[in-house]
Amino acid sequence: MSNKEKLTIHQTSTMIALLDGVFDGVVTYKDLAKKGDFGIGTFNQLDGEMIAFDGEFYHIADGKAAPISEDAKTPFAIMTTFYEDISYRVEKEMNREQLETLMNELIPSPNLFYAVRIDGKFKEVKTRTVAKQEKPYPSMVDAAADQPTFTSSDVNGTLAGFYTPEYSSGIGVPGYHLHFIDEYKKEGGHVLDISVQDVTIQICKKTKLNLNLSETSEFLSANLEDHDVEEEIATAE
């Protein structure tokens, strides 16, 4: 693998397009698997959450996880090759705010992108999984209004996701965007809140973003300007 590829994030579409209701899948997970072994995303018609690590992809819908069919499509996904650049062991209880403060201290700069993996024991993980939508699609905020939430306590598992710089809000979710799956690969979702007990944090720096935009009529005609991105992301997340 070239150093360039090692440092590259491959992203399909943008978060602001998802906020606007551009939910039609445009690329298969078979093709995405060629872009890396680690990532997060969603599915055609916003049908649940995706988490990938160690080259294995999982579809999480209604809180339940299952392997992904390689012909499944996505309107939004972020993929990369994961490697251990920074590693840190946490052996005490931390809430999400404390954990993110720690990770902010571990990363070299808030102006770069990072892939983040956290493995171990969690005191509590609160997740959600968005439900499959039908046309005409609502906005992401409206779709997320009825999302089911789930809470797992004293669970072992893996968090996977990315840190996106604040200046890239709208391209991605600014800050930490994380998905969770338990050690048995049976449950998980998009992380709303977490409390860790004994975990290992791994972070790898990414300095290149390969952004692939759609040419579907839905994307080309979407109104991607009249959005309060930070407020909408905060509401949808």
Q: Tell me how far CA of residue 23 lies from CA of 103, 186, 231, in angstroms.
A: 31, 25, 20
Question: 67 is written with which tokens?
Answer: 């392997």
Per-residue pLDDT tens listing for the chain (237 residues): 788 889 999 999 999 999 999 999 999 999 999 999 999 999 999 999 999 999 999 999 999 999 999 999 999 999 999 999 999 999 999 999 999 999 999 999 999 999 999 999 999 999 999 999 999 999 999 998 888 899 999 999 999 999 999 999 999 999 999 999 999 999 999 999 999 999 999 999 999 999 999 999 999 999 998 777 778 777 776
The mean pLDDT of the chain is 95
Residue where the block lists tokens 């809430």: 95
- pTM exceeds 0.85 for this model: yes
Q: Tell me how far CA of residue 151 lies from CA of 20, 35, 51, 104, 180, in angstroms.
A: 28, 32, 18, 26, 11
CA 173, CA 206: separation in Å to the nearest integer?
16
Q: Alpha-carbon dihedral of residues 167, 8, 181, 55, nearest 10 degrees?
A: 170
pLDDT at 3: 84
CA 163, CA 82: separation in Å to the nearest integer?
13
